[in-house]
Chain A
Amino acid sequence: GQQLNQSPQSMFIQEGEDVSMNCTSSSIFNTWLWYKQDPGEGPVLLIALYKAGELTSNGRLTAQFGITRKDSFLNISASIPSDVGIYFCAGLLASGGSNYKLTFGKGTLLTVNP
């Protein structure tokens, strides 16, 4: 089956620093999604990417859909304490009609020191 390799597994940074995390796959995807999960809550969608090469921003967050369709990265600029949480990438492969498969990465745990 498809595997998503998300790195790094965890990051410890100082407030104000920029952060970068990425996901790679041996298979191509039609869509890349980035989620953030706070403790005790479900994941919340941050950014959705639909086209190879697409670069999308949401406030301090920027994500890109790799040209090869096998990778994506997420950047967070000027981190703040509330950025703490687990960030997940997810790749969607739609194979026609209602058939699709959504695969999640294992997550990146981000800790921000004030």
Chain B
Amino acid sequence: KAGVTQTPRYLIKTRGQQVTLSCSPISGHRSVSWYQQTPGQGLQFLFEYFSETQRNKGNFPGRFSGRQFSNSRSEMNVSTLELGDSALYLCASSLAGISNYGYTFGSGTRLTVV
């Protein structure tokens, strides 16, 4: 069965622009979580969506937002990009939440802000 698919794999944006990243979870998975990974901070939790509702949220500014569609696909949006937003953004899906044997991660979207 197909894994978690994230698009695009690589992205270069300019400061001040906005960006939208996409994540298609494993078929049947209803929970989608987003993480930011940087060398200095490691993996930082952004938010989690379940059945189109944001269920948990990390400590990121309001420039970071997301949504989930009825087919469980999720998008993450970052507005007014800053240089510090350069990171690997990872999406992870699970059947109903973290309690189900953890997540399955996608390969990530590498965002570079110049």
Residue in A45, A88, A104 whose beta carbon sits within 8 Å of that of B101 in the complex: A45
The interface residues of chain B lying within 8 Å CB-to-CB of A105 are 42
Whether B42 contacts A43 by the Cβ 8 Å rule is no
Interface size class on chain A is 20 to 34
> Quick one: given A33-B102, A98-B56, A100-B56, are A88 and B43 in contact (CB under 8 Å)?
yes
Which residues of A lie under 8 Å from residue B105 when comparing CB positions?
Answer: 35, 42-44
- Considering only residues 72-114 of chain A, those with a C-beta below 8 Å from chain B are 88, 90, 92, 94, 98-107
Q: How far is the CB of A35 from chain B (nearest CB, A)?
A: 8
A-B contacts, 25 listed (Cβ < 8 Å): A31-B98, A35-B102, A40-B107, A41-B107, A41-B108, A42-B4, A42-B105, A42-B107, A42-B108, A43-B105, A45-B101, A45-B102, A45-B104, A90-B102, A92-B98, A98-B50, A98-B55, A98-B56, A98-B97, A99-B56, A100-B97, A100-B99, A101-B45, A102-B45, A103-B45
